[in-house]
Chain A
Amino acid sequence: MRKMTVAEAIREALRLEMKRDERVFIMGEDVGKFGGCFGVTQGLYEEFGPERVKDTPISETAIIGSAVGAAATGMRPVPEIMFCDFLTVPMDQLVNQAAKMRYMFGGKAKIPMTVRVPVGAGMSAAAQHSQCLEAWFIHVPGLKVVMPSTPADHAGLLISSIRDDNPVMFFEHKMLYGVEGEVPDEIEPIPLGKADIKREGEDVTVIATSMMVYKSLEAAKELEKDGISIEVVDPRTLFPLDKETIFESVKKTNRVVIVHEAVKRGGVGAEIAAQIADEMFDYLDAPIKRVAALNVPIPFSPPLEKYVVPDVKDIINAVKSIAR
């Protein structure tokens, strides 16, 4: 094991895949010489050259659309969209082209592309540079959606995403880029559709994604002082979703809190809650609770932003509201 930040782990996964497979290439705004808006692709331009670490114009539709065309014709592009919020621009190429081509063509096309997307609030970037829009994409059949938390998960899941023959949305929280964690010396792919239990517990299942995994683990320490033991389940991929692991945990605790940074209304939590209610009703001893951002755009001023996004205290309160 070695220590790596999330950004380093992503970079290492990109390096490994680019070395392993010459069809893999990176494209996006300022990903080359500049090293990426958040420095994630630093050094890759020098190592692999401008042909495989391609600086694009500020032209998100061209980035995604050309990745679709390249993927359909034998390449394995890894385009980056600088901020999740900018996904609105190439939405047609993602939703109507990338996601549906295989199906519309009767299964005769493969679109192996991985779209890397920084998400999240926490740096006063305001309403157009802070969103978590992952829920939009689980609503689109044809796309896979990955949203990891730890450095090791980012690395292993990115490798699997790049090797996957389907379009994958890979959401990275920008406030996690500097967070350190243990990464195996030999990075192995982590299969999509496998949740990970980040902390075992007995009383309440807390299903958390991305940054909220860390906040839930903090909450777990506080709750322990009050004698409440929570199990923190990180789905890691939102589609395919590892229902089995989630359901096993629910069987054990009979109580569920779902935590994500995206706004609550229509969020991934609603889908997960519906699946639990549908299939695990008999195991539930309390209503399913969701902890998520308030249903407003992300504001600029630090106290406003902090108020809107869920924090440790919100998770603690939700757990306590349903704990035995």
Chain B
Amino acid sequence: MKLKKEELLHFYRKMVEIRKFETKVVELFADGMIPGFVHSYIGEEAVAVGACSNLNDDDYITSTHRGHGHLIAKGGHMDKMMAELFGKETGYCKGKGGSMHIADVDLGILGANGIVGGGFPIAAGAGLSAKMRGTNQVAVCFFGDGASNQTTFHEGINLASIWDLPVVFVCENNMYGISLSQKEHQHIKDISDRATAYGIPGVTVDGNDVIAVYEAVKEAVKRARQGEGPTLIECKTYRHRGHFEGDPTVYRSEEEVEQWKKKDPIKRFRKKLLELGTVTEDELNSIDEEVDKMVEEAVEYAKKGKFPEPEKAVEDVYTDIVEEVRE
């Protein structure tokens, strides 16, 4: 497949956006600026960007607890994301969700999700809805290797398969379900093997190769839009950070981490672009600088925002009922 220069630069820019956003988040979390839990996406950028680059604004995604990358790749705004991480009223969810629940329904982002595997049936439902409304929309369900052992994996994919729903199930196999290695949590190597059980295509790709992910998802999205049903795509990747910020990562070796860092999706792609000669180093550097500025602006926006008034806690439970405030 011949990709245009703009497309290649878009991949690069989006991956750099995620990397720089996440790097800043790690720093701010360590400084105590971000409450709660943070699950860093650093190292897995090629999956979100490769997948979401196939989607339109009105297509849907369901994300995970490790969701910042998906949101940025789907077009989420960094400033509102950062403000949400800070717990500010200017954040995506007015400070009610935080890192694990950021959503932008207008951009088809049906939320990060604090429940591992929570998104499978929801994505199937979004696909069902698109099909019933007769639109051309698809839903992409992101999940990890850990989630592939949940009951929702089976129920969601089974439903999508019997009804030929326009859903693409994208597994980010980062080799660990929290502290448990894939070898210890399932008796298979390739999660895509499980597609056989649902009579749908299953493919495994190098999840650190943005073009490989892009092409696999492109094929799956095409199938989905043509009414041919779901696909299961497994992207082998690795998280450079622990499961959560503060994770001592005693369950994996430094050597393994270093091996994977050599396969860093952004460094690899940058090298490839320069080798192809389609872009110059200056062009890439100027993208880097632009993104640095974006991230700084997002942090400024987050810092400037106010914390929500405490009484706002009682709003937004229902569309029509605000039951009580503390006296």
Contacts and interface: CB of A to CB of B under 8 A. Distances in A.
Interface of A: 25, 51, 56-57, 59, 61-62, 64-75, 77, 92-93, 96-97, 101-110, 141-142, 144, 164-166, 240
Contact of B319 (A68, A104, A165): A165
Interface of B: 60, 62, 91-97, 101, 103-106, 110-111, 113-115, 118, 120-130, 132-133, 139, 151-152, 155-156, 158-159, 162, 315-321, 323
Contacts of B132: 25, 51, 70, 75
15 contacts: A59-B159, A62-B155, A62-B156, A68-B121, A69-B123, A69-B124, A75-B132, A96-B115, A97-B115, A105-B97, A105-B105, A108-B93, A108-B103, A109-B110, A166-B319
Contacts of B121: 61-62, 64-66, 68-69, 93
Residue of B113, B122, B152 ringed by the most chain A CB atoms within 10 A: B122
B97 A106 contact: yes
A62 B124 contact: yes
Nearest to A109: B105
A65 B122 CA distance: 5
Contacts of A108: 93, 103-106
Contacts of B118: 65, 92-93, 96-97
The 3 closest A-B pairs by CB, nearest first: A69-B125, A65-B121, A107-B316
Residue of B106, B114, B155 ringed by the most chain A CB atoms within 10 A: B155
Nearest to B122: A69
B122 A66 contact: yes
Given A62-B124, A74-B133, A69 B110 contact: yes
Nearest to A240: B321
Given A93-B121, A106-B93, A69 B129 contact: yes
B126 A73 contact: yes
A233 to B, nearest CB: 21
Given A61-B121, A93-B121, A97-B115, A106 B320 contact: no
Contacts of A165: 319-320
A110 B130 CA distance: 16
Contacts of B317: 102-103, 141-142
A104 B111 contact: yes
B122 A105 contact: no
Contact of A69 (B106, B114, B139, B316): B139
A103 B129 CA distance: 22
A70 B125 contact: yes
Contacts of A93: 118, 121-122
B151 A104 contact: no
A102 B318 contact: yes
B164 to A, nearest CB: 12
